Amino acid sequence: MTGAGGQLAPNVVHFARALRAAGLPVGTGRVKDALDAVGEVGLEREDFYWALHATLVSRAEHRPVFDEAFRLFWRSPGAPAAPAPSGSPEAARPAERDRAAVTRRVAEALAGLRPPPASARGRIEIDALLAWSDREALRNRDFEQMTAEELREAERSISALRLPVRDVPTRRLAPDPRGDRIDPRATLRAAMRAGSAAIPLRFRSAARRPPAVVLLCDVSGSMSRYARILLRFAHALARDRPHVHAFAFGTRLTPVTRWLRHRDPDQALAAIGRAVKDWDGGTRIGACLREFNLAWSRRLLAQGAVVLLVTDGLDRDDARGLAAETARLRRSCRRLVWLNPLLRWAGFEPRAAGIRAMLPNVDEFRPVHDLESLAQLARAIGGGERGGM
C-alpha cells in the first residue's frame, strides 16, 4: 500500500469484516487481495468500488449485499460512492423484494461490528432474528400446534430410517473388473508387470453418483401435515448425501435448502417454519412453479436432478397456467415425480382441475402417506428412465 494514506488499510479491513458479518465468506486471503487491488487502482471512485467487488465478492447473490454495504460504509464525505446500481437479472426478478431484508441485514452487520469479530454463530442469530420479525407482520402461526404425538413418533422414525437412494451413472469412467470398456492405463501397467507375450486387459465402466434431488413442497392448509413430514424426509436425505435442495410453496415460493443444513431436524424444521410465511394458507401452484422455472430451474436442474413435487393438486388459482409450467418443469429435469397424499384412498379420482392439468405432465405419480411409502420413494429416486415408470 503506497500513497493510500494511513487510514485506508484499516478501513478496508474493517469493511471486509462488515461483509463477513453480513454473511459473505471473506477470508484473510481475500482481504489481502483487496488491499493489493486497491493499491493497484487507486482511489478513483468507480475503480475503487469494482476493485473491492472483484476481490471480496464471489457469488452473484452476494452482489446486492456488497452494494448495500459499500454504500453504507463508504458514505462519509470524500469517500468514494458506489456507481449506479447495476442489478443482476435476479435482482430485477422476484429477489427484488428481498432488498429491504438485505439493507437491514447489512445495517445490523455494520452496527453489530463493534465489538468485532462477529462469529459464525452471531451471523446465524441475526438471520434468524430477521426472519422472525419479517414473519410477525404476516400470519402468526404456532408451529407446535399441529404436532400430535403420533406425528412426532413418525418423524423420529424418519430420522432413523436408512434412505438408500439409487445411484445414477455419470459420464465419468471408473475402474471396474466387470466393466465393458478397456482401461488403457491400467492395462498397460498390468502388461508391464506381467511382461509376457499376453497383455491382460483391464476394464472400466461409468462411475455412479447419487442424483441431485429437488423437493418442492406444498405447505398450504390442506397439505400442512404432510409438508412437515416431507421436509423431515428432505432433511434426512440431505444428511448423508450432497445436492439436496428444498422449496416450500403455498402462495409463493420459499427456498429452504439452507436450513436443511442444521444437523438437528427439530431445529431445521423450526427454522423453516419461521422462514415460510404462507404456511397453512392457499395454494397457487401454477405461479409458484413458474417462479421456480424462471429463477431456479437452470441453476439446480442442469446436472440431471430428480424433482419431487409434493402437493395434493388442489389449486386456488383454478389451475391457471399449471399444465404449461408443469410441462416446462418436466422438460428441464431428469425425472419429475409427483407425490400426492390423496392417492392413499383407493377411490381416488383425478377430478380437480389442478390434478387433471398436472397428471399428464409428470413422469411418475406416487402416494406418500405412511413410512413405508417414504422408504419406497427413497429407493425409487434415481431408478427408472424417462418414459418407463
Partner 1 sequence: MTPRPLPDSVEAVIALLGEGEYVADRSLATALFLSLRLNRPLFLEGEAGVGKTEVAKVLARTLRRRLIRLQCYEGLDLASAAYEWNYPRQMLEIRIAEAAHEVDRSRIEHDLFSERFLVKRPLLQALEPDPAGPPVLLIDELDRTDEPFEAYLLEVLSDFQVTVPEIGPVTAAAPPLVIITSNRTREIHDALKRRCFYAWIDYPDAARELAILRVRVPGAAERLSREVVAFVQKLRAHDLFKLPGVTETIDWTQALLALDRTSLDPETVEATLGVLLKYQDDIARVRGAEAQAILREVQGAAAP
Binding residue for partner 1, selected from 8, 9, 13, 63, defined by CB under 8 A: 63
Give yes or no for residue 3 binding partner 1 (CB under 8 A): no
SS3 of 357, please?
helix
Out of 1, 54, 81, 201, point to the residue binding partner 1 (CB under 8 A): 54
Written as one letter, the residue type at 96 is E
Size of the site for partner 1 (CB under 8 A): 49
Helix 99-111 vs helix 8-21: crossing angle, to nearest 10: 120
CA-derived radius of gyration, the chain: 26
Calpha distance 46→336 (Å, rounded): 46
User: Which residue type is seen at 68?
Assistant: E
Q: Does 40 bind partner 1 (CB under 8 A)?
A: yes
| DSSP string across 114-178 | SSPPPPHHHHHHHHHHHHHHHHHHS----TTTT--HHHHHHHHHHHH----PPPEEEEEEEE-TT
C-alpha cell recorded at residue 226 = 404432510
The single residue among 185, 344, 379, 386 that binds partner 1, judged by CB under 8 A, is 185
Q: Give the interface segment with partner 1, choosing from 118-126, 133-141, 295-303, 361-369 (CB under 8 A).
A: 295-303
Q: Which of 53, 232, 235, 330 binds partner 1 (CB under 8 A)?
A: 53
Binding mask 196-215 for partner 1 (x = CB under 8 A): -x-x----------------
Looking at residues 84 to 113 of the shown chain, list those that interact with partner 1 (rule: CB under 8 A): 86-89, 92
130 makes contact with partner 1 (CB under 8 A): no
124 vs 327, which CB is nearer to partner 1?
A: 327
Q: How far apart are CA 88 and CA 298, in angstroms?
A: 16
- Amino acid identity for residue 18 in this structure: A
Q: Site residues (CB under 8 A) for partner 1?
A: 25, 27, 29-30, 33, 36-37, 40-41, 46-47, 50-51, 53-55, 57-60, 63, 83, 86-89, 92, 170-173, 184-185, 187-188, 191-192, 195, 197, 199, 293-294, 298-300, 302-303, 324, 328
